[in-house]
Amino acid sequence: MSAARLDCDLLVHSAAQLLTLAGGPQRGARLGNLGLIEDGALAIAAGRIVAVGPTRAVRAQVRSRAELDARGQVALPGFVDPHTHVVWAGDRANEFEQRLAGRTYMEIMAAGGGIMSTVRQTRAASVAELAAATRPRLRQMLAHGTTTVEAKTGYGLETEAELRQLDAIELLAVEGPWTLVPTFIGAHAVPAEYAGRAEAYVDLVVDEMLPAAAGRLPRWAARNLPVFCDVFCEDGAFTVAQSRRILERARALGFSLKIHADEFVGLGGTALAVELGAASADHLVQTPAADIAALGRGETVAVGLPGTPFGLAQPDYTPALQILEAGGLLALASDLNPGTTWCESMQMVIALACRYMRLTPAQAIAAATINAARALRLDHAVGSLEVGKAADVLLLGVPDYRHLGYRYGTNLVQTVVKAGQVVTV
Ligand code: NIG
Ligand code: FE
């Protein structure tokens, strides 16, 4: 006698390779565990995964209203992009040309361009205009397989404009079908009006912006999503002491924490992040050895952003193998922004990580899914294909997962399933 079959909405079956990424975040030498099932299937009901396994076994368990034949394809979890500056107005094509002619990113920023240039354009935009500028980028991300996106503020740098960026993120989150996770980064640059008065700007962030942004926390909590606070800890931006002040205040107000650290100079921001229990420390190009060791002991995820040195045509990348050797948790993200790296594709990020961070395709895939989910503290909900998790599933038009990384510049994603729904992009 066979047990009653489970009714489900969609059965994805016969995948040449189904990558479950099961078993939680992957630390150090464990990175790269794909949980590969040949001739794999998964069943979905009410937007969640209800069964995963070999096609024959899953078929025996369920009765499905619809089916998706994944023959000759790779099925894997939707990518999680845990670091983006996706909400902005305008562009900085002129600065790209200046950098090609030899000016550095920080020189352009010190001269009032860079982040401030996007700030001027973003301050002039309404919430609806910001959403309209951002939506096509989110659609591109989804088309390239990113189903969960962290989105930062940081192009307002004054209270009302920062709140408008948060409002645009919320408007787009409600619209979906993507999952958006907001990050407040009022300390993204010292705005021109505060030039030479960084400490006074930090006062504004701590005393006015953070409490105002904290008013949004309950609405996100109701969606079971955290809200992060981030700081650009860098020479020419914010010191470690200023970063600590901001992050400690944010933590007290209920934000989860992130930091931009060691992009150009290793100041100690990564060790600070570990000490404060931040969810992630991001960039980590010039990270001191002591800070790498701290990552090995702590819970903070190191987020590599290889699109950024690539976008800036700089030679140094996140020392991924040293971080893994120290036992650290490594994730990947796009850093999508108009200044350093306008790239919506985590497939491209994986291709760069394989070449310049020396990851295997399997390691890069785990870093872009389950570990990226951990960098958002959402590893219980997304980032792997396991029973109970959101049915965010990609089908790639290739028979072997190693085509990810190997190939670049075209989109290998043929089908995106978000929360159980096949998305047309
Ligand atoms: O992560 N480094 C700071 N922030 C961004 C760049 C933002 C911009 O240039 O607009 C980054 O690379
Ligand atoms: Fe960034």
Domain ranges of the chain: 6-78+383-423, 79-374
> What is the CB < 6 Å shell around ligand 1?
85, 114-115, 118, 232, 260, 263, 308, 335, 337-340
Ligand 1 center–CA 284 separation, angstroms: 13
Report the C-alpha gap between 267 and 290 in whole angstroms. 11
Which atom belonging to ligand 1 lies closest to the Cα atom of 83?
Answer: 1
Token duo for residue 321: 């193998």
Closest Cα to atom 12 of ligand 1 = 340
On the question of pLDDT at 1 being above 70, the answer is no
Helix axes 269-276, 240-253, angle to 10 degrees: 20
* Mean pLDDT calculated for residue range 344-358: 98
Ligand 1 center–CA 105 separation, angstroms: 9
CATH classification number, 79-374, choose in 3.40.50.2000, 3.40.50.720, 3.20.20.140, 3.40.50.1820:
3.20.20.140
Which of the four pLDDT bands, split at 50, 70 and 90, describes residue 299? very high
Ligand 1 center–CA 143 separation, angstroms: 24
The position carrying tokens 């992130």 is 258
Which ligand lies nearest the alpha carbon of 263?
1
Ligand 1 center–CA 44 separation, angstroms: 38
Query: How much of the chain, in percent, has pLDDT values that exceed 90?
Result: 98
Q: Alpha carbon of 238 to those of 150, 290, 358, 391, 418: distances in Å? A: 22, 21, 30, 40, 38
CATH 2.30.40.10: does it fit domain 6-78+383-423? Answer: yes
Quote the pLDDT of residue 384: 99
On the question of pLDDT at 258 being above 90, the answer is yes
Report the C-alpha gap between 61 and 277 in whole angstroms. 42
Ligand 1 center–CA 188 separation, angstroms: 8
Model confidence pLDDT, tens digit, residues 41-67? 999 999 999 999 999 999 999 999 999
Report the C-alpha gap between 229 and 258 in whole angstroms. 6
Which atom belonging to ligand 1 lies closest to the Cα atom of 118?
Answer: 10
Question: Of 260, 272, 253, whose CA–CA distance to 209 is shortest?
Answer: 253
Quote the pLDDT of residue 89: 98
Q: Alpha carbon of 37 to those of 12, 32, 69, 266, 382: distances in Å? A: 13, 14, 15, 41, 19
Closest Cα to atom 8 of ligand 1 = 339
Model confidence pLDDT, tens digit, residues 63-120? 999 999 999 999 999 999 999 999 999 999 999 999 999 999 999 999 999 999 999 9
Q: Chain-wide mean pLDDT for the chain? A: 97
On the question of pLDDT at 3 being above 80, the answer is no
Non-local CB neighbours of 11 within 8 Å, separated by 6+ positions: 41, 42, 43, 44, 58, 59, 62, 64, 66, 67, 68
CA 149, 295, 406, 312 dihedral sign is positive
Which of the four pLDDT bands, split at 50, 70 and 90, describes residue 407? very high
What DSSP designation does 337 have? Answer: B
Which ligand lies nearest the alpha carbon of 92?
1
Quote the pLDDT of residue 424: 81
CB contact at 8 A, 18 and 75: yes
Please tell me whether residue 397 adopts helix, strand or coil conformation. Answer: coil
| H runs (alpha helix) in 230-314 | 240-253, 269-276, 289-297, 307-312
Quote the pLDDT of residue 4: 86
**Bridge partners, residue 11, by sequence:** 43, 67
CB contact at 8 A, 223 and 182: no
Amino acid identity of 161? A
On the question of pLDDT at 417 being above 50, the answer is yes
Question: Of 146, 142, 134, whose CA–CA distance to 172 is shortest?
Answer: 134
On the question of pLDDT at 2 being above 60, the answer is no
Ligand 2 center–CA 395 separation, angstroms: 29
* Mean pLDDT calculated for residue range 164-168: 98
Q: How many CB atoms lie within 10 A of CB 124?
A: 11
Which atom belonging to ligand 1 lies closest to the Cα atom of 189?
Answer: 3
The position carrying tokens 């503020």 is 153
Question: Of 289, 355, 368, whose CA–CA distance to 325 is shortest?
Answer: 289
Question: Of 283, 207, 199, whose CA–CA distance to 243 is shortest?
Answer: 199
On the question of pLDDT at 246 being above 70, the answer is yes
Rg (CA), the chain: 21
Strand order across the 146-152 sheet: 79-81, 146-152, 179-187, 228-233, 256-261, 280-283, 301-304, 329-332
The angle formed by the CA atoms of residues 70, 76 and 77, to the nearest 5 degrees, is 130
Amino acid identity of 395? L
